Amino acid sequence: MDYKKIKTETEAITRNKEDFYNQTGNIYETVAILSKRANQISVELKTELEQKISEFATSTDNLEEIFENREQIEIAKFYERLPKPTLISIYEFLNKKIYFRNPLKEKSEK
């Protein structure tokens, strides 16, 4: 998923607790789902950022290269301005873009 195109808040806001309870029936299960999804998003963003930064890596660094590498600084600033992974996972959950299942519930229903 392209996290750069998600239009969500960049700051924490007050939300209705019932919105998180509706899909799972258990607020703790919802928190676990959001936590796991936020970790997935964080790993994806970190990997993508490391790939872009590695393009600028050189075998020998000198003081001039460190101060003149504006492109690398701009990339880092761009990723800093993105919404945090937790906020992205909340957005996805509330818009029903996360697939989740609970094997224990499935087992008890059979």
Q: What does the pLDDT look like over 52-89, one tens digit per residue?
A: 888 776 666 566 665 557 778 888 888 888 889 999 99
Output the furthest CA–CA distance in the chain (Å, rounded).
67
Enclosing domain of residue 39: 16-99
Number of Cα atoms under 13 Å in the Cβ half of residue 67? 3
Name which residue leads in pLDDT, 23 or 105. 23
Phi then psi for residue 35, to 5 deg, are: -65, -45
Would you say 35 and 43 are in contact if contact means Cβ atoms under 8 Å apart? Answer: no
φ, ψ at 54 (rounded to 5°): -65, -20
pLDDT score at 44: 93
109 is a domain residue: no
pTM: 0.78
What type of residue sits at position 73? I
Residue 10 covered by a domain: no
Check residues 106 and 14 and name the one with the higher pLDDT: 14
65 lies in some domain: yes
Residue 71 falls within a domain, yes or no?
yes
Among 48, 45, 50, residue whose Cα is nearest residue 83: 45
Instruction: Answer whether residue 84 is part of any domain.
Output: yes
Number of domains in the chain: 1
Residue 37: inside a domain: yes
